[in-house]
Amino acid sequence: MMNKPRVVVLDDDEIFAALIIATLETDCEVAIGHNGNEGIQLCLADHTDLLITDIGMPELDGVQMLHQFQSDPRLSGIPVIVITATHFSHQSRAEVSRYPQVRNILHKSSEIDDISLEIQKALKESRAAQ
């Protein structure tokens, strides 16, 4: 039997993080953090199949964290889904999209079923690449 995929969820909005965790906890091992520094530590601590992150977080935001992921070979292969309340301009969306590990950028106002579908798609691709 294959182990459950490990997903790290980063969000300083505890209510939204709980919603994402509730959609994942049956099928995935879920680790939770509230900023980019915690995300880096969680991803380095154990194999991670997918990172779901917000952009606007304290201490180390999502863009700064993605930059560190890109420059660390232990982290650069982890696929990332960005789910944020930030209203992206064309320039800021392009800034986040330039990181090759970003699989999708979603808005927190998206339907949870749509978010769940994108998460499952990214997990399937991640597991197939292993």
pTM for the structure as a whole:
0.90
Q: Where are the domains of the chain?
A: 8-125
Task: Write the single-letter amino acid at 123.
Answer: L
Q: Give the number of other Cβ atoms within 10 Å of residue 93's Cβ.
A: 14
Digit-coded pLDDT (tens) for 36-69: 999 999 999 999 999 999 988 889 888 899 999 9
- Fold that domain 8-125 belongs to in CATH: Rossmann fold (3.40.50)
Identify the helix (H) or strand (E) that includes residue 95.
Answer: helix 90-97
